[in-house]
Structure 1
Amino acid sequence: MKRHLMNRRSFALTALAGTSTLALAACGVGGAGGSASGGEDTVIKVASHLPPMTDVVTLAGEVAAEEGYTVELVQVTDNVQYNRLLADGEVDANFAQHEPFMQEFNEANGANLVLLDGIYDAKVGFYSKAHDDVEQIPGGAKVAIPNDLTNEGRALAILHHHGLITLPEDAGFEGRVSEIVENPLSLEFVNIDLLNLPSAYDEEGMALVYSYPSYIKKVGLTPADALLLEELVDQRFTISLVAREDNQDSEKIQALRRAMTSDRVRNFLKDEHSATLLPAF
C-alpha cells in the first residue's frame, strides 16, 4: 500500500483511564536468566495484548534466546495496561500500539515512552453487516468509530478517501467529527472503545463499523470482508516496539530489537498473516 505522511497539528491530550487484570504473565521463552554480557540481567519482560502481537513477541523470544536472553510475555486485556506497566518500570518494553497512541499516553500521563522499531502495518477498515455496497448506505445511518482521537482521525480519513464525507483540505489523519465539512448522507457517528467496536457490528441500524483485524476477528471477519479498506497508510500507525527513555539503549533492549526485526519474524508475518497485515521492516 502507498504510504503518505500527513501532519497538521500536535495530538490532543486524552486521558487514558481504567484498570484491568493481567490475562497472562511471565510466559518465558529462552533459558534461565543470567548474564549474556558483563553480568547484565538477561530477562526481558514485554507487555502485549492480542495475537498476532503476542505471537510476534513469543517468536522474538526464541530468536533472543540464541543470544542468551529470556523474553517473558506479559499479556494484558486492554489498551491501557501495557503502557502503565512500561511507564511504571514493571516491564521492559511493550508491543501493542502505534506512535500517535503512545504520544497521546505520554502527554496525558507525563510518561517517557519511546518508539523503537515499526514491525507491521495492520489492514484496517470499515465493516458492515447490513450492506454489501457503499451505495446501499441510507441517509442518517450510524457509523461506529474509535473513541480515542488518534484512531478517530484515521477512521475519518478512510471515509473521506472513499467520498462518504469531506474533511478540511489539510486534515490528513487528524480530522475530527466536529470538523467535517460535508456529510451528504447525514451519517451519525458513534464513538466506541476499540475493544468494543466488534460488538457494534451486530447492532441494528449500524451501517459501518471501523476495526482492526485483531479485534474484528472476534466476530469471524477478516480484512477481506471489509466494505471499505484503508488505502493511504501513514507510517505513524505502524504497530511498533516501544521502550522507555531510560532503558532504550540497554543491551537487552538492543537484543530485543534485533529479535523483533529478525528474518524469522518478517517471514512469519509474511507467511502467516499476509491477509491482515504488511511487514514494516
Structure 2
Amino acid sequence: MSLKKFVPVLALSVSALLASAAQAAETLSIAATPVPHAELLEFVKPALAKEGVNLDIKVFTDYVQPNQQVADGHIDANFFQHKPYLDTFNKEHKTDLVSVAVVHVEPFGAYSTKIKKLDELKEGALVAIPNDPSNGARALLLLQQAGVLTLKDPSNILATSRDVDQNPKKLKFKELEAATLPRVLADVDIALINTNYALEAGLNPTKDALAIEGADSPYANLIAVAAKSKDDPRVAKLIKALHSEEVKAFIADKYKGSIVPAF
C-alpha cells in the first residue's frame, strides 16, 4: 500500500475508534442545585468520562423538581438534599427514592443585615426560616443550639414553630421557600439559610453567619436515585468519583470550610 493510501486509511481507523468509544459511553443524567452540587459534578465529569460515563447535569433552583423528575423516571439521579428532607418528600409524595451515598455537609447558618450578634435580637424580631418541614426544623434546632429558644422536644428533626417551648424574645417566624431566603434578608431581622443558597447569594458562611452548624451535622447531602436504580453501575462510578481524594482537595480549596466532606 502506498503512503498516500495508508494515511487516509489510518485517519479513518482513528475516527472509527473515537466514534466507537463515544457510542460505548453511557449517559447518566443527574439533577442538582447550582452551588456547590453542580460545581462538584462538573469537577468529576472528566474522570467519569474516562470510566465510560457521560454525566449529563441538569441544574434546578428548587427542592421539589429534582426529586419529582427522578421519581417520574425523567432523570436518573439527583444531588441536592439531605436524608431528613428525602424522607419527608417520600412520605408526602409517596415516592421510593433512596440515598446511595453521602458526599458533603453544608453547615446551615443564620444571617442578618441588621445585627452583628444573635443577642442583639430585639423583642418581637422577625425570623425567616425555610417552609419545608425538615429545613424549617433544622433552622429551629440551630436557634436552640445558639440559645435563642428551646423546643418542647430538643431533638425533634421535624419541629415547627408550634413546637417552640420557650421564646423569651417573642420572636415571630415567617416561613418562606428556601431559595428566596437570601433575597428577604433586608426585610427580616434574621434568616436561616441553606448553605447552597447562601453561597449563590455571595454570603460566606464561615464569615457572615451569626450562628452555624458544626461539621458533625447529621444533614449530609446525598446522591438519591429511584430504589430500582440503587445498584446501577453508572451510579457506582459516580460515587467512586465523588469520594476521591481529589474531590476532598477541591472542596477544601474552593469552599474553605463553607462545606466539608462527609466521606
User: What range is the shorter-chain TM-score in?
Assistant: 0.7 to 0.9
Which residue number in structure 2 is paired with residue 87 of structure 1?
Answer: 71
| C-alpha distance in structure 1 between counterparts of 2:23 and 2:108, whole Å | 38
State whether residues 132 and 177 of structure 2, in contact with CA within 8 Å, keep that contact through their aligned partners in structure 1.
yes
Which among 177, 197, 222 is matched to residue 193 of structure 1?
A: 177
| C-alpha distance in structure 1 between counterparts of 2:254 and 2:129, whole Å | 28
**TM-score, normalized by length of structure 2?**
0.87
Q: How far off its partner does 1:220 sit? A: 2.9
- Judged with a 3 Å threshold, the aligned counterparts in structure 2 of structure 1 residues 52 and 112 are, in CA distance, closer, same or farther, namely same
Code of the residue aligned with 2:212 in structure 1: it is L
Code of the residue aligned with 2:67 in structure 1: it is N
Which residue number in structure 1 is paired with residue 164 of structure 2?
Answer: 180
Q: How far off its partner does 1:199 sit? A: 1.3
Which among 24, 32, 38 is matched to residue 34 of structure 1?
A: 24
Which residue number in structure 2 is paired with residue 69 of structure 1?
Answer: 53
5+ residue gaps in structure 1? 1-30, 36-41
| C-alpha distance in structure 1 between counterparts of 2:42 and 2:173, whole Å | 38
Q: Which structure's CA Rg is the greater one? A: 2
Which residue number in structure 1 is paired with residue 213 of structure 2?
Answer: 230
State the number of aligned residues: 242
| C-alpha distance in structure 2 between counterparts of 1:241 and 1:163, whole Å | 33
State whether residues 35 and 199 of structure 2, in contact with CA within 8 Å, keep that contact through their aligned partners in structure 1.
no
Code of the residue aligned with 1:265 in structure 2: it is V
Q: How do 1:125-274 and structure 2 match up within 5 A?
A: 125-203=109-187, 206-223=188-205, 224-231=207-214, 233-235=216-218, 237-274=219-256
State whether residues 138 and 157 of structure 2, in contact with CA within 8 Å, keep that contact through their aligned partners in structure 1.
yes
- Judged with a 3 Å threshold, the aligned counterparts in structure 2 of structure 1 residues 53 and 136 are, in CA distance, closer, same or farther, namely same
- Judged with a 3 Å threshold, the aligned counterparts in structure 2 of structure 1 residues 171 and 275 are, in CA distance, closer, same or farther, namely closer
**TM-score, normalized by length of structure 1?**
0.81
Which residue number in structure 2 is paired with residue 121 of structure 1?
Answer: 105
Which residue number in structure 2 is paired with residue 10 of structure 1?
Answer: none
State whether residues 35 and 200 of structure 2, in contact with CA within 8 Å, keep that contact through their aligned partners in structure 1.
no
| C-alpha distance in structure 1 between counterparts of 2:252 and 2:23, whole Å | 31
Q: How far off its partner does 1:225 sit? A: 0.6
| C-alpha distance in structure 2 between counterparts of 1:243 and 1:225, whole Å | 34
Normalized per residue, the structure richer in helix is 2
Code of the residue aligned with 1:32 in structure 2: it is A
Q: How far off its partner does 1:64 sit? A: 1.2
Which residue number in structure 2 is paired with residue 278 of structure 1?
Answer: 260
State whether residues 123 and 277 of structure 1, in contact with CA within 8 Å, keep that contact through their aligned partners in structure 2.
yes
| C-alpha distance in structure 2 between counterparts of 1:61 and 1:108, whole Å | 33
Alpha-carbon RMSD across the aligned residues, in angstroms, is 1.7
Aligned-residue identity in percent: 28
Which residue number in structure 1 is paired with residue 87 of structure 2?
Answer: 103
- Judged with a 3 Å threshold, the aligned counterparts in structure 2 of structure 1 residues 220 and 60 are, in CA distance, closer, same or farther, namely closer
State whether residues 33 and 69 of structure 1, in contact with CA within 8 Å, keep that contact through their aligned partners in structure 2.
no
Q: How far off its partner does 1:219 sit? A: 4.0
State whether residues 220 and 262 of structure 2, in contact with CA within 8 Å, keep that contact through their aligned partners in structure 1.
yes
State whether residues 33 and 43 of structure 1, in contact with CA within 8 Å, keep that contact through their aligned partners in structure 2.
no
Q: How far off its partner does 1:48 sit? A: 0.7
Q: How far off its partner does 1:234 sit? A: 3.5
State whether residues 107 and 215 of structure 2, in contact with CA within 8 Å, keep that contact through their aligned partners in structure 1.
no
Code of the residue aligned with 2:24 in structure 1: it is G
Range moving further from structure 2, 80-89 or 213-222: 213-222
Q: What per-residue deviation string (whole Å, max 9, x for no partner) do you get for residues 147-194 of structure 1? A: 011011111011111111111244343322111111000000110110
